[in-house]
Amino acid sequence: MRLLDLLLPVPCARCGEPPVSPCTNCLATLNESPILQIPEGLRSLTALTAYDERSAKFITDAKYRNSRTGLMALARWSAEMLPDEIVAEVGLVTWAPTAARRRRERGFDQAQIIAGIVGRTLGLPTRRLLRRSTGAAQTGRTRIERLGGPVFVAHTGPARANRSAIGPHNSVLIVDDVCTTGATLSAAAGALAGVGHGPLHGLVIARTPAPGS
């Protein structure tokens, strides 16, 4: 436990017990991420846990109650579980931006926050490489509606100008909070591949189990 956690204790977002969120007990009950197909366009996808009743509280509290402590801790642990060979290959961290309306409502983009923590944890630069075009947010949509995915546009100027600084393969780690159908990450990967980035890897805090599992 960090000294800061003892000096500035916070209640666990799930059970309410101090001094950290997630607390040791809730962390121990998190389920492993389901083993599912890697979303199209990605070489790999790493997830810390399954998105279920045990993990959802930490993510939804950050999105809708601006309680980011648990989300930040889970982001660090997600970064630390990335395989060494992926960390060695990746030269840059970016994120799949949330819809503009959601960002205005919340006052922040949770994926951007996660990406910043992941970048600092891994010692890698974090840059905004994607812009989300106007369209419906994925949150609240049915699984069929989600499969269409959002539309992303890659920022070609900064990305191309900084290629020499992010490695010979221009490899990027795309970060998001939750992977449900994989459509968001696939759309982000497609946009980045279209301007020459690759290979592309994904990292999320939680992945939704397949329907009926």
Question: What are the pLDDT digits (tens) for 175-189?
Answer: 999 999 999 999 999
Q: Is residue 212 part of a domain?
A: no
**Residues 8, 112 within the same domain:** no
Q: Is residue 213 a part of any domain in this protein? A: no
Q: Judge whether 118 lies within some domain.
A: yes
84 part of a folded domain: yes
Same domain, 24 and 66: no
pLDDT at 194 over 70: yes
pLDDT confidence of residue 212 = 75
Residues 12 and 109 in one domain: no
The answer on pLDDT for 65 being more than 80 is: no
Q: What is the pTM of this model?
A: 0.83
CATH code, 105: 3.40.50
Does residue 127 form part of some domain? yes
User: Which of 9-13, 37-41, 65-69, 139-143 is predicted least confidently?
Assistant: 139-143
Specify the number of domains making up the chain.
2
* 61 and 145 both lie in a single domain: yes
Indicate if 142 and 200 belong to the same structural domain. yes
Judge whether 39 lies within some domain: yes
Calculate helix-pair angle for 110-122, 69-80, nearest 10 degrees. 40
Is 104 among the domain residues? yes
Does the pLDDT value for residue 84 go beyond 80? yes
Same domain, 107 and 171: yes
Domain that holds residue 113: 31-207
State what percent of residues in the chain have pLDDT above 90.
54
Region 106-121: mean pLDDT is 92
Q: Tell whether 109 and 8 lie within a shared domain.
A: no
Contacting residues for 90 by C-beta, under 8 A, at least 6 apart: 122, 124, 167, 171, 172, 173, 201
Mean of pLDDT values over 63-77: 78
54/57 Cα distance (integer angstroms): 7
Tell whether 1 and 101 lie within a shared domain.
no
Pair 90, 23 in one domain = no
CA-to-CA distance for 124 and 152, rounded, in angstroms?
Answer: 23
Position 146 pLDDT exceeds 70: no
Whether the per-residue pLDDT at 22 is higher than 60: the answer is yes
Instruction: Extract the tokens encoding 155.
Output: 């920022």
Mean pLDDT across the chain: 83
Same domain, 180 and 191: yes
What's the rounded mean pLDDT across residues 115-120? 97
Please give the pLDDT value at position 135.
54
Classify 187 as helix, strand or coil. Answer: helix
Residue 117 lies in a domain: yes
